Structures are given as structure tokens and as C-alpha cells.
Amino acid sequence: IGVQPGSDALPARRPLEAPVKTFPAHPAPIVPPTPAPRAEVPMQTMEPAPSLPPTSFDGPTAANPQVMPEVRAAAVPEAPVMTAPSVPRLSQIPLQSGPAGILVAAQQHLGEVHRAYLAQQQALHQHFLATRAAAMATLAQARSGAAGPRPVLPAAPVMTKPAPVVAPVAPVRTPAPAVEPPVALKPAMKAETPSPRKPSGARQRPDDGSTTLPGPRFSRQDLEHLASFRISERFGPLFGVQDDFPRQVRMPEEPFLLCDRVTGLDAEPASMTTGTIWTETDVVADGWYMHQGHMPAGIMIEAGQADLLLISWLGADFENRGERVYRLLGCELTYHGGLPCIGDLLKFDIHVDGHAKLGAQRMFFFHSDCRIDGEVRLSVREGQAGFFSDAELANSGGVLWDAKTGEHDASARLDAPVVPLAKGTFTKEEIDAFAEGHPVACFGEGFAVTEAHTRTPRIPHGDLQVLERITHLDHRGGPWGRGYLRAEDDITPDDWFFQGHFKDDPCMPGTFMFEVCLSTMAFYLTSMGFTLNRDGWTFRPVQDVPYSLKCRGQCTPSSKRIVYEVFVEEVHDGPIPTLWADVLCTVDGLKAFYARRVGLELVPGWPLDESHPLLDGYVEPKPVARMEDGFPFDYRSLLACAWGKPSEAFGAPYTVFDHVK
């Protein structure tokens, strides 16, 4: 500490003596080695490929061996002759009786033809492999310069065409004798064997407008005559035997004659076998049944009424002889794509599928489709109808269903009402006020907002409104405790629906019972307040869901009262308010009509869906502006700005606003 160090004693630093290296600025060029010269090999030319028989060739193809010139060929076997495996003719295959046997035979024949095809393909493939091997051997021999015979290209196999197929002739079947089953259910009944005179497929083709339908045609005037006068004057003298029968199977008279024309009929008259009928119905703006621009759901079913005409043509009254009358027993129906609107043409194809007997009672089974512009809008399946005496109808046991033990989902969704229910009973005047578009006069001040509606949702009015009173409405009532409505209608002999349905056999249509049931469901859904903010909307059945309808009683001029009941199972609020319920019609204490789990929904609608007086006969007096796709901004589009769909006001780009988001 405090001593200054001296550096003299330290050795001096040695100078750096690192080696110095130098590098060229650019690398030396890379020169590839010179390849050794190759011996010239003369070019070889391959002979053309052997010709193969085309797949469509009918006869044998001669062998065409390709041999290299001036070279002795080695011995090879002769070209094989490929004969297609023996294919039994379809007519030689033993047929079972009935369509099932013919189908099995056809499948067996198809299998034999397919096996023959596989064998031919295998032979062709083997020939291809042999040809390729011979060609490769020839090239290898030429390259090596070895002497000797060169391989010969094998000849193509000679193909023979299998024997032509001969269509079978189905054996003639003897119709089975009628068997009387113990119960009146379709699965337990012995259906009569249909006549084999025409293939059933001919009766299943839809009327697409491109083909002429078979059989006679009947105009509206013809149908009115058939509903009221001598049937033989339109069906022909064969039916003169029934002219004096007091009651016959007929089409309804006005107002329930909804069919406008018959465009085709494919059935043997008076044969009581099977058949098909094609009909059309025009949906017009002034139709007595129109409601908010649409045909009601129950009326749409009734429009497919020509099973009556078809079964009459098949000769039902030859056996009924005026002692038995037609009654619908039930069906399963499904709606598709909305209800018919003004200008639609309904095209029905209705098919009688079979018959059965239960003692003296005779029944038949049918199905139908209703198309609009080629699309199915209503399908009816498992249709059943029969012919009954007065005593049998009077002694009917009715529908075997009890609400207390009826099937239902106790955990199903049950949304609360928008407004509280002010009362649980309603008079005819109040129901009529709702049907005429004044809900506040029916349901009370909680519905005052609907007075500002342009077209408030409502039930059909006029003749279609037949309810006299609602005796009970409770959103938590009924045997299921999920909601209940009970309505009544007093029956009199003068009620309009007895007129013309049918001549000399008045009864209320079962399809109209169903329509009134839908009205009671719409009344219930409205009472929950779901229409308050839905101006212009309308009610319709939930689409693409099958509904099973059962008819086991009748309402006639001698009846006194019919009761309509709604047993609520499920209620949905939201974008599309929906009600699911069982409906029951009771006539003088007899359960006459029942439908399980019917769905009714409230969907968007527009005032211009109906015919508007401002547009009746209107013709645009001068040219108007148009969009690129031709959409006109005319008077109708102007009115649509207030009363129509956005797409009707502004064109196709606004279609997305036509529906609920």
C-alpha cells in the first residue's frame, strides 16, 4: 500500500507473428468430364398393337397375330374362343306367384348377366397382360441382339354375345276369396286381390301436364249433374240399374262441390277393383271459403273429394242398392309449403288402393296428393272410408279415447301468455267480433293495440264461423293442467253445411269439423296475446307433420249439439308462435271426431295477399322504371310499400326481408 510498482522488471511484449494466407478472388470454373463415346444402336420400330373387338361388336373377331418379318416364330397355342357364360332366359326362371316372385326372378337374371360380364372382362384383361409381356420380350431380344424366334403377340379372344333376354309372362292369378276379418282395422282385413289387367305403376304417375291422362273427362257442368241427377246420363247405360236407388254415392252439391273438373280416370267401371282419378280445383278471389287470401286448411282437404266419384264409377252402389251410405273413417294428412292462395290451381291424383269386408260392411282404402305448380302441397295417406246402414251409424261406439288417460308429454314446453286472460267464457257476439277483425271487443282492453292493425290475425268469418259460445277457456286448465278450451254449436236442420252434402243423405263433412277445430285452436292462441305485435299475420297448420284424423260418428239434421274441445300439450312463443293440442268433437255425447297432436302456427302474412279494390282491373297507363331483372316499380309495387311483402315493393333482392329473422 502506498508503493509505486515498477514495470522495468517485466519482460517486453513479443510482436505478433501470425501466418499470412492469400485466396483467389473467384473460384476456378467447374468443367464436367467428357462422356465416353457410345456405340450406335439401330432404332427399332414396334409393330402396331393388335386390334381388339369393340364392346358393341355382335359377331366373333378373327385372330390377327402380329409376327416380326423374316423371323421364324415359336409355336404358340391357338387363340382362345371366349364364350359368354350361359345366361338363363328370364322366362325360364321359375316364377313364384305374385309380384314378389317376378321381382326375385328378375334379380336372379340380373346376377347371371353380371357374372357373364365379369368373365368377359377377365378374359380381356388376361389377353392384355399376355400382349404386354410378349411386346416386352421382343424389345429385350432386339436390344440384346440375340438370335432366335421372337415371341408372337397372342390373338385376341373371340367373344360371343349372350342370348337375348326374353321378358317373362306373369302367371295369371286367381283372385283370393273374400275373407271376413274379426275387427275393422286395415291391418287385420283381407284386401281383395286387385285386377291384373293393368300395371299398378300406370296409376301412380303424377299429372305433370306433359302427358294426356287416360279415361273419360268431366266438366264442372258434368259434376253438378252427377251430384244431383241421374248418374247413368254421364257414366253410361251400365249405371242405369242404380238410377232409382233412393241414396247413392255422389259428389257434394253446392256449396261443397269444390272440384271444378275431372282431367282423367283410369279404372274399370263397375269392377270394384282399384283405380285412379285426376281432378282440378281453381282457387278464385271470390270463393265463398276464402280467408285472408287463402283457402282454409279443412276446405283444402275437402277439395280432394273425388274419391266419391271414383268409388261410384267402380260400382259401389251396385252392392249398396240405396241401403248403405258413404262415410269417411279417417286418414293421415300432411301439409307442405303453405295454404293455397288466389290464382292457384289445385291438381289432385286420388288412388283407390284396395277393398275389405267386415260382415256386411264394405270398406275401401285410398291415398291422394294435391299439387300446385308441380309441387305436392297436401298428401293424404291411409285413407279409409266405408258404406254403412242407418242402424250401424246409429249404434256407433264413437272414438275410443279418453283425455284423462290420453297420451301427452307432461314436460313439453309451455310458454306463458303475453297478456293475462280477462275472462274464460265468450258469447257468439264476441266470437263474431274477433272473426271480423276486432279482438278488443272479444278479449278486452289488453288487446287495444290491435285496433291499429291493418289486417289483424283472426279466424274465418261468415258461414265458416259456426261457434255459438265458448264455455271454458283456461291457460292452465283441462285434465292435463296445461290449457283447455271448450266450445259449443247448436245444430238445427237448417244449418247451411247440410245443404248438398249429400243429396238425400245430409251430414256435416268431417273435413269441416277439422276446420272448426283449427278455429278453436286459433282462438286459444290469440287469447294468449301472441297476435298483438303481428299485424298481417295468419294462422295455418304446422307444415310437414303428419296428422292422424279419426271419424267414428256423424252430425246430421237430427243432431242437437256439437262440442269442440282443445286439450293443450305444448305452447311456443317466439318468432313463430305455435300451439300443439289434441282436438275432439262430440255430437250429442258421442265422440265423433278426434285428431292427435295437431300443430297450429302463426306465420307472417300481408294485406295484399288478398284481392285489393285498388288493383282490381287496374292497368298501368304509361311505362314505369324497371330493375335490371325486369321488376317494375308500378302501382302494385307502390301499394306493397304499405301493405305487401318487401320483395313485392322493391324486387327480388328484398326477399330476405319477407320472412321472420
Task: Identify the burial level of 122 via C-beta atoms within 10 angstroms of its C-beta, where 0-12 means exposed, 13-18 middle and 19 or more buried.
Answer: exposed
Nearest to 561 by CA among 533, 535, 592: 592
| Whether the Cβ atoms of residue 249 and residue 317 lie closer than 8 Å to each other | yes
* Per-residue CA distances from 364 to 185, 204, 235, 306, 340 (Å): 11, 18, 21, 14, 28
Kindly report the number of other CB atoms within 10 A of residue 483's CB atom.
24
| Residues pairing with 351 in the sheet | 276, 367
| Whether the Cβ atoms of residue 612 and residue 601 lie closer than 8 Å to each other | no
The set of residues, in sequence order, having a beta carbon less than 8 Å from that of 20 and lying 6+ positions away, is: none
* Per-residue CA distances from 270 to 237, 242, 247, 267 (Å): 12, 11, 17, 9
- What are the cell numbers at 370? 294435391
Task: Please work out, in degrees rounded to the nearest 5, the angle formed at the alpha carbon of residue 505 by the alpha carbons of 255 and 184.
Answer: 110
Helices (H), 211-304: 220-228, 232-235, 297-302
What sign has the CA pseudo-torsion 254, 259, 265, 268? negative
What letters, b where the CB count within 10 A reaches 16 and e where it falls short, cover 12-31?
eeeeeeeeeeeeeeeeeeee
| Residues pairing with 349 in the sheet | 278, 369
User: Which entry of 127, 355, 453, 501 is annotated as an active-site residue?
Assistant: 501
Location of C-alpha cell 420400330: 45
What letters, b where the CB count within 10 A reaches 16 and e where it falls short, cover 284-294?
eeebebbbbbb
Q: Give residue 208's identity as a one-letter amino acid code.
A: D
Cα–Cα distance measured from residue 53 to residue 55, given in angstroms and rounded to the nearest whole number: 6
Location of C-alpha cell 296475446: 529
The set of residues, in sequence order, having a beta carbon less than 8 Å from that of 660 and lying 6+ positions away, is: 575, 576, 604
Nearest to 643 by CA among 621, 615, 617: 615
Which conformational region is residue 98 in: left (phi greater than 0), alpha (psi within -120 to 50 degrees), or beta? left
Helices (H), 280-332: 297-302, 307-313, 316-320
The set of residues, in sequence order, having a beta carbon less than 8 Å from that of 628 and lying 6+ positions away, is: none
Known active-site residue 109: no
Residue 528's SS3 state is coil
DSSP 226: H
Cα–Cα distance measured from residue 312 to residue 530, given in angstroms and rounded to the nearest whole number: 46
- What are the cell numbers at 409? 308429454
Please give the positions annotated as active site: 501
